[in-house]
Structure 1
Amino acid sequence: MITNQRIHFIAIGGAVMHNLAICLKNLGNEVTGSDDAFFDPSKTNLKNHGLLPEIEGWHEDKIQPNLDLIILGMHAKADNPELVKAQSLGLKVLSFPEFIFEASKDKKRVVVAGSHGKTTITSMIMHVLKSMGKDFDYLVGAQLEGFDQMVQLTDAPYIIIEGDEYTTSPLDLTPKFLHYKHDLALISGIAWDHYNVYPTLDNYIDQFRQFIAITPTKGKVFYAESDDALCDLVKDMGSPSNLIPYGPHKSEIRNQETFLLHKNGETAVQVFGQHNMQNLQVAKNILNNIGVTDEEFYHHIKSFAGASKRMEKIGENENSIMFKDFAHAPSKLKATSKAVKDQFDNRSLVACIELHTFSSLNKAFISQYKDTFNSPDEALVFINPKTVATKGLEMISEDELKEAFQRSDLKLFTEAQALENHLLSQKWEAKNLLLMSSGNYGGLDLEMIKTSILN
């Protein structure tokens, strides 16, 4: 365990970075940090732990020869004055993925990778282990229900890591997940995203090729057999014996409730949709490989209510349910909207996706959404023109969206008020609402809409 070290964080305000800083402070290290801007929840979390810098910005005087370690965040640039000084002093500089490997090299490292489902699968694994009272460490990309922080480092024998394919740091443009050097891993699928980081599909797939290639001989990688790109990649690599395919857990929907079917009977679960049955199956595979029995898995997965912002039920009455989801990439949009429609096939579904990321707002990428929004009875798209302008892109028209999505009745909204008026003008009997975004629909008042629809 890392203790009694003097550690400075460059770009301490990041989601994982500030949680790692808190974790290391709690282990008895002297921790400082800098960033050029702070936002909640990291700002409040850092303040509560006495780690919020007095002033924003980068300050060379924070870098002193007596520092044992610098942890560098992706948000910092290569010419960051603190980084330049640290390099001139010959101080040890690690990205947070490099540090996590250093801190866990004596543990069994489980890495959850793939274009979608990472947070949900990681949540499922952690939920079962916690419910069983098992000791384990973890690193996740989102705040999870029942866990105070997103990073935990102890002397536990395992660490569960949500490993993303984004670049590591300004000094290292390889994906983060390559640094964790997994013993056990999974790939949930390869659906091209991050257009701004990986400009071609082949370039994107190659990151997963490298991930598979570093699997140790005695290691295992589970991969989603429903993903054609992933299966082609595995075949292209000679189908190594330590790569194991998985599909969705066998299940049944009865009276708007999903049941897992298994040799000992059936288990009712709170999550639903074929994508979640896949997530659940591979979580079980991983847990089986670290000593959890089938019986234990089914007993503890019953109480799993889902990951935050993933298919989150924000309100319901006898006529309607409102869901909020983080889905924005094409594969996530398709899986989430289909899941809600299948689970509640006795109701109409109104679904709205906010195109908010650089990839989703890019005309060169938008065709990737073809046939991903067919499940809802009414398909709405929201685009905030300010977001488009901020990213230096050209606004996409309704006709271009209809062509890209291959849905002629799709409606585009560019103002929160217009979207609000449309939603409130409807009758909500036997009808559900699904809102999908990594943004906020230009400030749409979800609480007010929820109250109006459900009351």
Structure 2
Amino acid sequence: MSKGKVHIMGVGGVAMSAVAGLFKKAGWEVRGSDQAMPYPPMGDLLTDLGISVMHPYQAENLDWGPDLVVVGNVIRRINPEAVAVVESKIPYLSFPEALREHFFHDQQSIVVAGTHGKTTTTSLIAHLLAFQGLDPSFLVGGIPVNFGINHHLGKGKYFVIEGDEYDTAFFDKGPKFLHYLPKAAIINNVEFDHADIFANLDAVLKVFTDFARIVPRKAPLLIPDSDTNAKMVVADADAKVVTFGIERGIWQARDVQWDGLGVAFNLFCKDLKVGTFSSPMIGIHNLHNVIAALVMLHELDAVTPKLALALESFKGIKKRQEIKGVVNQITVMDDFAHHPTAVRQTIEALRIAKPKAKIIVMFEIESNTSRRKVFQNEFAKAFATADQVLFCRPYEKPDNLPLEERIDMDQLCADIQSAGTNAVMIPDIGDLASAAAALAKPGDIIVGMSGRNFHNVHDKVLAKLAEG
């Protein structure tokens, strides 16, 4: 018997599709709406779950009589469906509120926050728990390959969730992660981001400080020992602050050995060796994510003899250093990087894995932050660590961003060139794919970076490579 009827507004988003799936698995009748039919993989996921999607947004989408409406943060107050919800007597919640009210009271939430690494670390913790038979619930802003889905309603004691600092809904401009009732938490790092809603770094530090303060007394709150900003935001926290890092912090990775397939290391708590581990992920940033996940499980005493094997079996996340194909010994990868730090870390990781490879970066200026000038200089420095950079036309959004606030693509290309790396903007996606394929030689890496599907450029590159 159905628990009720729930309507999900903005159901095509990664997080909203996951919320829809959780409600479905909890016994609700679920339908949703979006501006258009969501493209894969979210569209396929919703179809597989049997969740119908009404589009575009309109008041009539509510005529089926839902008992509850869950509103995504993509929905603006002037949206006709939002206007209809507000004017109706139908109860409505933001998706963080919906999770808190309907899921978190029965399980202990592990919240993974930070500017970078949230999706990977959340996925890791969920996988490590699941592999050991602890059946956690989880919601993650990507698709972990081991699960093939971005959510799960488990029977175990933990709910692992990616904690986003972005605003909650048009009726709640506070950050999402303040709703998540953390019983344990990680702040992976803190940097300036989301320039569309945060004026400066101080504004970002404030919301992370607020988050740290809601972690209960004596509950584990993990931060990297190397991150000054993370240390600042936990200074007044009542939680049990636990530091981690590579050869620094309370918990440390020592005796680190890299190869082209991953990294091996010993994990220590102070001077006590806890275990030897091998991770299949490349890059220093991913090693930090792995350490954080392992430390969290140890702090929660959620460790069995299967833990090391669980880590070795982790298959990564779609759009995070995801190999889309290899043609003529040329590797084509997809990555979510859209912040200067993420761009630099991804390139550094590829250098460690394949030091002799030429790294060709294709990049779509599409996020609310990357479209702005705020990181003009930082992007130039990050891209200069590649061997070749190809930009497509910046993604246009209906936000009326003034021209003087937009990133200057001509200047960005010129600054990258001045640093010794060739950079050019190629507006047409087909031409960009052809250029990338023409530049690559056997052994090289072509990586496309975007928070979206990047106009399927990866498939276009693979097709061009196959043509020879």
- Name the TM tier (shorter chain): 0.7 to 0.9
The DSSP-based 3-state class of the residue aligned with 2:144 is: coil
Contact 2:340-2:379 at 8 Å conserved across structures: yes
Query: Which letter maps to 1:133?
Result: G
The verdict on how the C-alpha distance between 1:77 and 1:352 changes in structure 2, with shifts beyond 3 A counting, is closer
Number of the residue aligned with 1:227: 227
Distance 1:71 1:131 in 2: 32
Q: 1:85-104 maps to which residues of 2 (within 5 A)?
A: 85-102=84-101, 103-104=103-104
Distance 2:434 2:177 in 1: 44
Distance 1:372 1:27 in 2: 44
Structure 1 residue 423, shift from structure 2 partner: 2.8
Q: Would you say 1:380 and 2:389 are equivalent positions?
A: yes
Structure 1 residue 424, shift from structure 2 partner: 3.5
Structure 1 residue 216, shift from structure 2 partner: 1.0
CA offset digits 1:416-442 (Å, max 9, x no partner)? 354344333336144333332224556
Query: Which letter maps to 1:36?
Result: Q
Q: 1:295-306 maps to which residues of 2 (within 5 A)?
A: 295-306=305-316
Structure 1 residue 18, shift from structure 2 partner: 2.9
The DSSP-based 3-state class of the residue aligned with 1:247 is: strand
Within the candidate set 323, 331, 334, 2:341 is matched to 331
Distance 2:314 2:382 in 1: 27
CA offset digits 1:191-233 (Å, max 9, x no partner)? 2221112132211221111111111112221012222322343
Within the candidate set 409, 421, 425, 1:413 is matched to 425
Q: 1:240-279 maps to which residues of 2 (within 5 A)?
A: 242-248=240-246, 249-250=253-254, 251-254=256-259, 257-262=262-267, 263=273, 266-279=276-289
The verdict on how the C-alpha distance between 1:391 and 1:406 changes in structure 2, with shifts beyond 3 A counting, is farther
Structure 1 residue 110, shift from structure 2 partner: 0.2
Query: Which letter maps to 1:403?
Result: D
Could you list the runs of 5+ residues in structure 1 that have no partner in the other structure?
Answer: none
Query: Which letter maps to 1:271?
Result: M
Query: Which letter maps to 2:448?
Result: L
Which deviates more from structure 2 when the two are superposed, residues 257-266 or residues 209-218? 257-266
Structure 1 residue 453, shift from structure 2 partner: 7.3
Distance 2:175 2:51 in 1: 28
Number of the residue aligned with 2:193: 193
The verdict on how the C-alpha distance between 1:444 and 1:389 changes in structure 2, with shifts beyond 3 A counting, is farther
Structure 1 residue 339, shift from structure 2 partner: 0.9
The DSSP-based 3-state class of the residue aligned with 1:112 is: strand
Instruction: Give me the identity figure in percent.
Output: 26
Number of the residue aligned with 2:408: 396
Within the candidate set 305, 319, 328, 1:309 is matched to 319
The DSSP-based 3-state class of the residue aligned with 2:346 is: helix
Which deviates more from structure 2 when the two are superposed, residues 2-11 or residues 98-107? 2-11
Distance 1:17 1:239 in 2: 30
Query: Which letter maps to 1:412?
Result: V
Q: How many residue pairs were aligned?
A: 450
Contact 1:382-1:441 at 8 Å conserved across structures: no
The verdict on how the C-alpha distance between 1:439 and 1:418 changes in structure 2, with shifts beyond 3 A counting, is same
C-alpha RMSD of matched pairs (Å): 3.2
Q: 1:13-412 maps to which residues of 2 (within 5 A)?
A: 13-41=12-40, 42-53=42-53, 56-59=56-59, 62=62, 67-102=66-101, 103-147=103-147, 149-234=149-234, 237-238=235-236, 242-248=240-246, 249-250=253-254, 251-254=256-259, 257-262=262-267, 263=273, 266-293=276-303, 295-316=305-326, 320-369=330-379, 371-376=381-386, 378-385=387-394, 387=396, 392=401, 393=403, 394=406, 396-403=408-415, 407-412=419-424
